[in-house]
Structure 1
Amino acid sequence: MTKEKIISTIFNNVTEHHGILNSLEEMKFISEHNALEVHCIDFIEKMTDPNVTKLSRAFRMTRGAISKLTKRLIKAGLIESYQKPENKKEIYYRITELGREIYLKHQSLHQDRIDRDILFFSQMNECEKDTLIRIFEKLDKHLKNELEKKGIENGKYSE
């Protein structure tokens, strides 16, 4: 087996294990609302003037599916819709106080994951850390380029 194949295999194993750990932690957090609902709340809080079009691009889902999702979140009291005085045609969304609680718990979950991984990385010497930073930056750039080839900008939602 080539070193490139060994590295790729190990990297895939690491990302799979990392994903499983994250999923297990998320399952504890998400009881009443599914991951899609929680991430929708997250996007709405982070976007400027979130609407169905922006959310459908962010999730890579149809506008109809996003409309159903936002209606569920409105019914649950997690988000609310609003219109701007200068644009009565477009409907925008913002999170409610109840939605903010879920948003903050979700942010805390992400921070806990980072803290968990920091414990591992803190055991490395400075040279190892510098090498990993360079490798991960190159890998991140490579993966972003691959996503852009598939029409996905920055691997994240776009406004």
Structure 2
Amino acid sequence: MSDLTKQMIYDIYVRLLHLNEQKANTSLQQFFKEAAEEDMIEVPKNMTSIHVINCIGQHEPINNAGIARKMNLSKANVTKISTKLIKEEFINSYQLTDNKKEVYFKLTRKGRRIFDLHEKLHKKKELAFYQFLDSFSQDEQNTVLKFLEQLTSALESEHTDGTPGKPVK
């Protein structure tokens, strides 16, 4: 591969990262708009809280450690978010009768509405993405898949000094 091609790939990758940041803000605004259209007055103010609600909705019953693991967040961060979501009545906490030590979470009716709306919007995005992928051949899709798997693996194993880890093949 030529250095020019590598430079072009890197430049497009950086552009993609910037577009993704901008899109995240647009997605939150879109969520607020859709929520308003469905007469939802109270909505979490950030996407992480919405994603915690989604994680709970998909995995009920789930505890703090389970959410932290599935979302790659610290337990302290999950505690902070879940405390706020309980106060805002999007989720409830409870203990199982046979285990009084662990605290589990479940959605309230209000939380379920947020979960359902998030699922609906996510499904729309997923279908649009599949339609986009349909413009590529199966071989091209396999190459894209391999590239994304190795890029993700390299980013996940990135050293704390910012140098990339060796991709897993």
- Is residue 2:114 matched to residue 1:102? yes
For the residues of structure 2 that align with 1:20 and 1:39, how far apart are their CA atoms? Answer: 18
State the distance in 1 between where 2:148 and 2:90 align.
Answer: 36
1:77 aligns with 2:79: no
Decide whether the 8 Å contact of 1:42 with 1:103 is kept in 2.
yes
Cα distance in 2 between the residues matched to 1:74 and 1:51: 13
In the superposition, the TM-score normalised over structure 1's length comes to 0.72
Is the partner of 2:157 in helix, strand or coil? Answer: helix
Q: Report whether the alignment pairs 1:114 with 2:111.
A: no
Separation in 1, partners of 2:55, 2:20: 23
Contact persistence 2:60–2:105 (CA under 8 A): no
Unaligned runs of 5+ in 1: 151-159
State the partner residue of 2:39: none
- Residue type of the alignment partner of 2:31: F
Question: How far apart in 1 are the matches of 2:75 and 2:105?
Answer: 17
Identity across aligned pairs (percent)? Answer: 24
Contact 1:79 1:94 (C-alpha < 8 Å) held by counterparts: yes
Q: Is the 8 A contact 2:95 2:103 kept in 1?
A: yes
Residue in structure 1 matched with residue 98 of structure 2 by the alignment: 86
Q: Report the count of equivalent residues.
A: 147
Residues 1:44 and 2:56 aligned together: yes
Deviation at 1:56, TM superposition (A): 5.0
CA apart distance, 1:74: 2.0
Change (3 A) 1:53 1:117: closer
Counterpart of 2:18?
16
Once residues 60 and 129 of structure 1 are traced to their aligned partners in structure 2, the CA distance between those partners, rounded to angstroms, is: 30
For residues 18 and 36 of structure 1, do their structure 2 counterparts lie closer, same or farther at Cα, with a shift above 3 Å needed?
A: closer
Kept after mapping to 1: 8 A contact 2:89/2:111 = yes
Q: 1:7 aligns with which of 6, 9, 12?
A: 9
Whole-angstrom distance in 1 between the partners of 2:108 and 2:147: 41
Higher relative contact order (CA 8 A, sep 6+): 1
TM-score normalized with structure 2 length = 0.68
Tell me, which stretches of 5 or more residues in structure 2 are unaligned? 36-42, 161-169
